[in-house]
Structure 1
């Protein structure tokens, strides 16, 4: 077979790449772009190394997943004489290894010169790339990697499905990027790509944004699950049905090259990987160089979602290498069930037809349940992914307490995502007591709202109630106010020495040590709200506005807790209220009695309903498409 173009050498000019150029290259001379021609120029004699997250070629994974048999580099250079040398990276490499045996020199004639290298690859390598060493200014254009493949690339029709709700700046920017860099490009993908935008807020100008390849669908607010179901249906029913659907969040930044590489990867997968899910990484929108997750798993001990990998700082080559070779420890991998989140997840249409559409969850656990239900192989690779806001910045109790509780338990009943349902009920109980220890009676009640809606059975979520229940959860969650209002509320309680504007992150996030006696009292009395030791306490503590935070030493035996959201400059005040504590506990005990009496029936009922709730017929009726 001939050569197959796989990935462009990626060089961008945007705030992200200007702030963190080592995502793309490392150089000891300024590198700039001519905006008219698109050419890049190394300004003087120096070196530029491309063994980076976006420009190294993941040869180990390409040999594993695809029909690739050999690897090539193509560049076009003009200017001073320079040397282009292959670089290699191995599992324990701390930096690029130069391969002087694969190197070439340009004459420096001042005319464009082609550079073509056949890259030397061995079975131990993780990455390969190249280093350019110039004797003076040199311009670069049209760089790309190509592969020899053992089989003819298969035809692919890729559909991008994204769901949006009043996030116009993000989605219109991503539509423009797709049109400019994919649909108007000379890449093969340009003729085999559609973008389906499901507008749950009905705020976009659908007529102005839509064309033959981009379609905007005004839609009822059916959440991410409903929006992605609508996108899957649109991809299924487009003029030439999609072979693969790429699901992507709306509030993200994407490099179009990631989509191009995903398409190219799909074309050359080995038969045993053609039904794999390609899972793109979540890079931090705020800390651009940090990768937070590319796949996740359900912790078998507590039933919670966990990233499969640690956080990697991908401007560092050692982290990039570790990212590519990292695997779940065997003891976890044997027990845990993996999934790919839908901020960037490419699913074969054959798997959608085989496994159905999402459950009508609105938001949260739709991707988890679907990934575990489908039980695919997963493919991850450097250079594939998006930038997404960190979870602690986006914390919303309506999602984390109501949606997660309800949907996680439903997913357990339909798909057995955790060892058993009691694991998830125990975690819900633990979370409830965590909120009560912090005097957050509103969000403790949200957990019970989710639990009680789960107890209503599958006929309840089959109704179009998802949006209203999410709105109710947002209405009922703890409210935060501006720093100015927060100070007024605190002063009304007689506290005069609190000023959030003078706080440091350390003061907000830190904790105090506890001795064994304090630990015992906290455990037995829920921070002095039960048993004969219950009392109002005195003093106040300042803690962060994150539900899973537990600064136990700080809040021990306090009366008032001031919660600070430093990122959004908001906060709330909680005052210990033993009567509210009693109300929550009484409700919880009543719910648990009902749960124990009906749990076996509920599990059977949800399991039996899954096929209907994920069917095309159900979703077309739910979305009013008939």
Structure 2
């Protein structure tokens, strides 16, 4: 007996042959995946109950939350990447990150009015389809009992109209007396996809040969993915070459003449991605260009999903993949990012929570994951750019690293091309919780490129941005991060030099900033705090730290005290022996501002820096930074005109040609 409406029908063999209508396959974890990763593919928790939250006045429906009373002990048995067996007397939900359909995104950006869930099942059991609203409340849609011998092809036609603000579709499988085999499944469009699936995958690399070979192998191991890929373009900018890595020959043999490795000097991420676009537009017939980082773990199906989303998009748009954490692979690190147009800083999208662990709180238990999140750009750990958009917008700016992806997204938006960061399209990337690139050698690029992007797309009045960066100057100085301020000063000077300096700087700037940073104590990491005399603090004192000032008045007063103390003379006894050893998590301005010296561990825990307070350097750097901020404010209208006028050259094939073909 079935509860499905008459509009639901079993698919015909002709419909099954329309592979180009596939939006996303049902996929399962790999045998090598950690146990927690299963939560990204299936939700195996039983005893899940829907309970109403406190009613909201004026709401027509009451949001629901999930409680979990236990687990069944019988787990889904995965037999391949696309098939599995549900044991008897079990219940498994495919309402998980990679197997639910983020219907709100398809509703907002695609031409589709409905989708179809197709499942090939064998055995005895039940299929139930659910949907959610943007607040996470769940609604039962329909279901069907499978109780006849043989293999059964089921199809559910599902309306996309209820998802204006967000929401997901998913299905559950339940068994009683026998097993239920899922041979395959997927979410489909009712019509053929426009255009062609012909994606050029671009992956610039610098000394990550093992990661690159693993990604090349992942692309080649799936026939469906390989069929959609027309080229794999790999600008190799390192000294450890991908061609020399174990496993390369096998991976390259599968890809055949689709693989193009291009050796070039280290031009950073922007130089690598510009080369990808340069080659893709100039020597392939691709319809899509997919940027990916070299230090990722790829879920190959994400390539197919990004291409499908792009082909069904109502208008040409950028399709971004989300970032999962490589260190804790069940964590969703980034849901989406936006740019604050006032201070001109990127930040996570409102009402999202970075580093959310889906093994602890599943998709069905996390209401905020059901709201559609709109973004300004997508980082280039994974981002698909349609060929037509690339031909219109041109190549990335020559920024080396930082802000190249954000600037491209803002450039696209300014020309009417939006970006969608789509759940279920994702890669695993090293999480940023183990580094602080705002204070190491990358600080230069954070500052210079932020101002370049702001000159092109930012505010008429840079007052808020300049105030924020000068606050950062003071913060760096109270942290005794003199190298970061030196790089900020260099960045502002290079920005003031104008757009004409960007291309000449690209091949040489990394060497310049590394040399500059090495002149300061905080730019010369040591292996351990034991490389210098240990502080004399007793064990208790060494583990007690000041509490952060709470409130604007206390924070302001603390800042004034910190500045005044940094102008006072230093106790010579603290020059060779640090006053205290400070763990990274405690290295806050209100802690270090009260010290003459300290060893501070690095964010990744692999070393320390021995920082010494220098009042004369503090005075000089404050004075120089303040003068440069004033100059930027004074010259802002002219700088905006110069950078905007130079944009066509900076982003053109001719502009980049001398770096690629000389």
Scaled by the length of structure 2, what TM-score is found? 0.80
CA contact (8 A) 1:71 1:148 kept: yes
For residues 374-523 of structure 1, the aligned pairs below 5 Å read: 374-375=412-413, 376-396=417-437, 397-398=439-440, 400-413=442-455, 415-463=456-504, 465-477=505-517, 478-479=522-523, 481=525, 485-491=528-534, 495=536, 497=538, 511-513=547-549, 519=555, 522-523=558-559
Aligned to 1:334: none
For residues 135-284 of structure 1, the aligned pairs below 5 Å read: 135=176, 136-149=178-191, 153-181=194-222, 184-185=223-224, 190-201=227-238, 203-205=241-243, 208=249, 209=252, 211-240=256-285, 242-270=286-314, 273=315, 275-284=316-325
State how far apart, in whole Å, the 2-side matches of 1:399 and 1:290 are. Answer: 28
Please list the CA deviations of residues 491-540 of structure 1 after superposition, one character each: whole Å capped at 9, or x if unmatched. 2xx5365799x97xxx79x8445799975554335443466x66659894
1:52 is aligned, of 96, 101, 108, to 96
* Aligned-pair CA distance for 1:575: 2.0
State how far apart, in whole Å, the 2-side matches of 1:116 and 1:432 are. Answer: 62
CA contact (8 A) 1:249 1:343 kept: yes
Q: Is 1:358 the counterpart of 2:400 in the alignment?
A: no
* Aligned-pair CA distance for 1:416: 2.2
* Aligned-pair CA distance for 1:164: 0.8
Q: Secondary structure at the match of 2:276?
A: helix
State how far apart, in whole Å, the 1-side matches of 2:373 and 2:307 are. Answer: 24
CA contact (8 A) 1:158 1:192 kept: yes
Q: Is 1:85 the counterpart of 2:120 in the alignment?
A: no
State how far apart, in whole Å, the 1-side matches of 2:152 and 2:408 are. Answer: 47
* Aligned-pair CA distance for 1:439: 1.7
Name which of structure 1's ranges 588-597 and 291-300 shifts more when overlaid on structure 2: 588-597
State how far apart, in whole Å, the 2-side matches of 1:220 and 1:585 are. Answer: 36
Aligned to 2:340: 299
Please list the CA deviations of residues 151-175 of structure 1 after superposition, one character each: whole Å capped at 9, or x if unmatched. 6632242111111100112111111
Residues 421 and 385 of structure 1: CA distance in aligned 2, closer, same or farther (over 3 Å)? same
For residues 517-536 of structure 1, the aligned pairs below 5 Å read: 519=555, 522-529=558-565
State how far apart, in whole Å, the 1-side matches of 2:105 and 2:636 are. Answer: 44
State how far apart, in whole Å, the 2-side matches of 1:456 and 1:436 are. Answer: 25
Name which of structure 1's ranges 533-542 and 384-393 shifts more when overlaid on structure 2: 533-542
Please list the CA deviations of residues 339-370 of structure 1 after superposition, one character each: whole Å capped at 9, or x if unmatched. 22111111122222212111110001111111
State how far apart, in whole Å, the 2-side matches of 1:17 and 1:248 are. Answer: 23
Aligned to 2:651: 614
Aligned to 2:76: 31
Aligned to 1:71: 115
Aligned to 2:169: 128
CA contact (8 A) 1:54 1:383 kept: yes
Q: Secondary structure at the match of 2:213?
A: helix
State how far apart, in whole Å, the 2-side matches of 1:361 and 1:553 are. Answer: 34
State how far apart, in whole Å, the 1-side matches of 2:557 and 2:131 are. Answer: 57
2:35 is aligned, of 6, 12, 18, to 18
CA contact (8 A) 2:287 2:387 kept: yes
State how far apart, in whole Å, the 1-side matches of 2:236 and 2:85 are. Answer: 41
Residues 34 and 355 of structure 1: CA distance in aligned 2, closer, same or farther (over 3 Å)? closer
CA contact (8 A) 1:102 1:120 kept: no
Aligned to 2:606: 569
Aligned to 2:52: none
CA contact (8 A) 1:254 1:386 kept: yes
2:592 is aligned, of 555, 566, 578, to 555
State how far apart, in whole Å, the 2-side matches of 1:163 and 1:236 are. Answer: 16
CA contact (8 A) 1:338 1:371 kept: yes
Aligned to 2:369: 323
State how far apart, in whole Å, the 1-side matches of 2:552 and 2:376 are. Answer: 38
CA root-mean-square deviation? 3.2
Name which of structure 1's ranges 296-305 and 595-604 shifts more when overlaid on structure 2: 595-604
Residues 588 and 73 of structure 1: CA distance in aligned 2, closer, same or farther (over 3 Å)? closer
Please list the CA deviations of residues 201-230 of structure 1 after superposition, one character each: whole Å capped at 9, or x if unmatched. 151218943622222211211110010010
